[in-house]
A and B are shown apart, each in its own frame.
Chain A
């Protein structure tokens, strides 16, 4: 290539770049790297949703890197995930590597082992226990109330014949339609 052609193409490239250049690039936030194929990998996304960003934002790595564009930690953590993934590590191995490096706090939810099991089981067990206790108390109280109360009609004769089951059902149906 001749010198004149080389300079001409160079000037054209600079001009073309300037045509796309923002007037105040810093006002549009930190510069980004172009999206890589791994960024949209469903496995990577699912994996990063299980890992916490270490910047203190309380978000997972995927959410932080696609939301908080001022964060410098989550892109780095994403790069680490990609590196491990490309090195042939499985998602479980990558999670284990993160826990080894950053501690248990790197997980968005504690692994259900040891004391952490209490985190998962206590609410359910508490509700189950309370529900069982509630049901038992209700049954016992109902029995007490039933044994204490005399049947209606047995203590006094109102002169009104006792309603049949069919009449009762009709009445209840009518009442349920008009009243709460």
Chain B
């Protein structure tokens, strides 16, 4: 099978190069056969990559330890689910995963794009084919997943214990899907620039792709946070690690694009900016890959240092220079179709939202690269960790949260002072009441207080938007409140899906504030001994050691330390934290013992127990016990955000209204009157 996989890689490589060369040469303009060939190459490429993927999976499932990758990341006794997901556990496999998904996305883009954009498709195939060919070349010349060993070991090394977690089954593919999905909008942007189709038509072709890739990135990042929380044992979910930062960067610029593209769709403005954002987002996704694989910046996530990083650096520079040069050449053709009429308009609010989002992206990038910069300038390497990022980004994050609430309150084009007063009244009151209540309850942390006041404000904004829309439907069509809200959302899924995403974001922010009140205590307990910890809510938790038991399970020896937990004197259950010593199929110990955290979660706080180790090899043990407020809400925020994103991209909409679409005449009437007032 490795021969077949290797062959498929070469076929894929030449197909991708063919698509890129023919597509970018432009000869297909005069020879329709070449255009069809370029487009068909996307299907051939996808087929070749699927064959390569199946070949690797076959090697993994059949435990062919003669394949270096299989021997390095699996063992005969590894649970089947993890054998399957070992595909993306290492550098070589993850490169193949990237190439496979990109080839499939390239094919799907060809299949699902409307015929209206047919003239763009050869260029789209050229970009997706070219990028896939790059990934295949990286494998063929530097990190080949089908490389064979000169001997066949009796068993493999096994999978890193920290990757033997359900979170790692799904987190990396989700993140990769997000990164890879960005390539499709990028391909359309390049195609539009090459073809000089610089109206907003191509924007409609990528709408679902942009939301989809953003959604995958959001899910991937949130699952990464969840994995870090339940697996790494440090009691947090975000550490501003360079690789975490690298995933956040394209998310931020993509979020900016999702807002600014609305201005282009409605007003024909910001064409240059939107193209720049798409190119930047793609480059940042490649930058993230470079960071992960080059070893240039120390990170807990990095793959082993290898020459692959330099492939990515060269690719990053080449694509960046070519893309921005193309953008520069088309600059004069990207004149806006209209101008901003007022600073008190939604367009202006979105512009400032973009400024803050891109500003945060810049500050994260700056902080991530500052150690390298410092070494260049001063010859001194510094560490830029959470204290730096929190200091710089918390104020910016709060500004962004404020804009999340402000944007929807301001009308397109122009807003009168009276309208502003009317729109801001309820949300401002909601924020104020939130602040007063929390102040009365004794909350004094200024950052937390500001965050929660702003969360109240944003929630007020969203509630007001839903209420006003529903009330209007109730008045106009005599609908009940429930039917009104359902039809309101169904009629404009993108808008109300977006509001739901805003709720998800504010829930994230509220949850993040909980970490300001985290309590951690280390204790040593013999069986029967107790330790007591006060929670930030004033509850008293008592932990009683029930001892440590050892037993064999699957591919490991488990040492399970169990604590009985009482809350204010009432037993609420037990928490078990484990040490896992993994063994190979011959019973030989493989990795160092890993830790499995014990978590008891509720809406208010998590009890987080880590079995730190044994005292002298006995059941007397050290525990790190943390009480982490509001963590449940981080995951809830993720779910709400995903639901909002799915709603926004769901096909259809605007079907349930009795009056149908707003007519052009109505839109013109609105435009004329607003213009009359402005004049």
Which residues in chain A, 49-85, are within 8 Å of chain B measured between CB atoms?
49-50, 52, 56-60, 63, 66-67, 69-70
* 9-residue interface stretch from B17-25, B42-50, B142-150, B373-381: B373-381
Distance A26 CA – B559 CA, assembled complex (angstroms): 10
A141 to chain B, nearest CB (A): 5
A interface footprint on B606-632 (CB within 8 Å = 1, 0 otherwise): 000011111111111110100000000
A123 to chain B, nearest CB (A): 3
Select from chain B the residue with minimum beta-carbon distance to A166: B418
Distance A106 CA – B610 CA, assembled complex (angstroms): 26
The reply to whether the CB of B540 lies closer than 8 angstroms to some CB of chain A is no
Q: Given the complex, which residues of A lie within 8 Å of B472, measured CB to CB?
A: 174, 177-178
> Is the Cβ of A69 less than 8 Å from the Cβ of B613?
yes
* 9-residue interface stretch from B192-200, B425-433, B636-644, B671-679: B671-679
> Is the Cβ of B419 less than 8 Å from the Cβ of A172?
yes
Q: Given the complex, which residues of B lie within 8 Å of A108, measured CB to CB?
A: 383, 385-388
Q: Given the complex, which residues of A lie within 8 Å of B524, measured CB to CB?
A: 34-35
> Is the Cβ of A63 less than 8 Å from the Cβ of B234?
yes
Q: A131-B352, A172-B674 are in contact. Are A22 and B614 (CB under 8 A)?
A: yes
Q: A22-B619, A127-B396 are in contact. Are A152 and B672 (CB under 8 A)?
A: yes
Select from chain A the residue with minimum beta-carbon distance to B669: A171
> Is the Cβ of A176 less than 8 Å from the Cβ of B419?
yes
> Is the Cβ of B392 less than 8 Å from the Cβ of A116?
no
Partner of B613, one of A28, A59, A123: A28
B161 to chain A, nearest CB (A): 11
Select from chain B the residue with minimum beta-carbon distance to A169: B418
The reply to whether the CB of B468 lies closer than 8 angstroms to some CB of chain A is yes
Distance A135 CA – B384 CA, assembled complex (angstroms): 32
The reply to whether the CB of B351 lies closer than 8 angstroms to some CB of chain A is yes
Which residues in chain A, 138-180, are within 8 Å of chain B measured between CB atoms?
138-139, 141-142, 144-146, 149-154, 162-163, 165, 168-169, 171-180
Partner of B298, one of A56, A60, A144, A149: A56
Q: A20-B618, A27-B581, A35-B522 are in contact. Are A115 and B378 (CB under 8 A)?
A: yes
* 9-residue interface stretch from B60-68, B341-349, B455-463, B565-573: B341-349
The reply to whether the CB of A89 lies closer than 8 angstroms to some CB of chain B is no
Q: A127-B362, A177-B469 are in contact. Are A28 and B550 (CB under 8 A)?
A: yes
Of A56, A122, A168, A178, most B-chain CB atoms within 10 Å = A178
The reply to whether the CB of A124 lies closer than 8 angstroms to some CB of chain B is yes
Q: Given the complex, which residues of A lie within 8 Å of B386, measured CB to CB?
A: 60, 108-109
Partner of A35, one of B523, B595, B611: B523
B678 to chain A, nearest CB (A): 8
> Is the Cβ of B367 less than 8 Å from the Cβ of A31?
no
Of A119, A126, A130, most B-chain CB atoms within 10 Å = A119
> Is the Cβ of B391 less than 8 Å from the Cβ of A127?
no
Partner of B241, one of A20, A40, A58, A60: A58
> Is the Cβ of B559 less than 8 Å from the Cβ of A142?
no
Q: Given the complex, which residues of B lie within 8 Å of A28, measured CB to CB?
A: 548, 550, 559, 579, 581, 593, 611, 613-614, 617
Q: Given the complex, which residues of A lie within 8 Å of B377, measured CB to CB?
A: 115
> Is the Cβ of B416 less than 8 Å from the Cβ of A34?
no
Partner of B662, one of A30, A105, A176, A179: A179
Q: A108-B387, A120-B388 are in contact. Are A127 and B355 (CB under 8 A)?
A: yes
> Is the Cβ of B384 less than 8 Å from the Cβ of A109?
yes
The reply to whether the CB of B356 lies closer than 8 angstroms to some CB of chain A is yes
Q: Given the complex, which residues of B lie within 8 Å of A168, measured CB to CB?
A: 416, 673, 676-677
26 contacts between A and B (CB under 8 A): A20-B619, A25-B616, A26-B581, A30-B613, A32-B615, A58-B299, A63-B234, A67-B233, A67-B595, A104-B380, A104-B381, A105-B380, A109-B388, A116-B374, A123-B363, A127-B396, A130-B359, A131-B352, A134-B355, A142-B343, A151-B679, A165-B677, A176-B411, A176-B419, A176-B423, A180-B495
Known: A119-B370, A168-B677, A171-B673. 17 other contacts (CB 8 A): A22-B619, A25-B618, A32-B615, A34-B622, A35-B522, A40-B521, A58-B299, A66-B610, A105-B380, A115-B374, A134-B352, A141-B340, A142-B339, A153-B676, A172-B674, A177-B468, A180-B412
Task: Point out residues on B near A: beta carbons under 8 Å.
Answer: 232-234, 239, 241, 298-300, 339-343, 348, 351-352, 355-356, 359, 362-363, 366-367, 370, 374, 377-378, 380-388, 391-392, 396, 411-412, 416, 418-419, 422-423, 468-469, 471-472, 476, 492, 495, 520-524, 526-527, 548, 550, 557, 559, 579, 581, 589, 592-593, 595, 610-622, 624, 662, 670, 672-679
Q: Which 8 A-B pairs have the closest CB atoms?
A: A25-B617, A151-B679, A123-B363, A127-B359, A108-B385, A27-B581, A28-B559, A109-B387
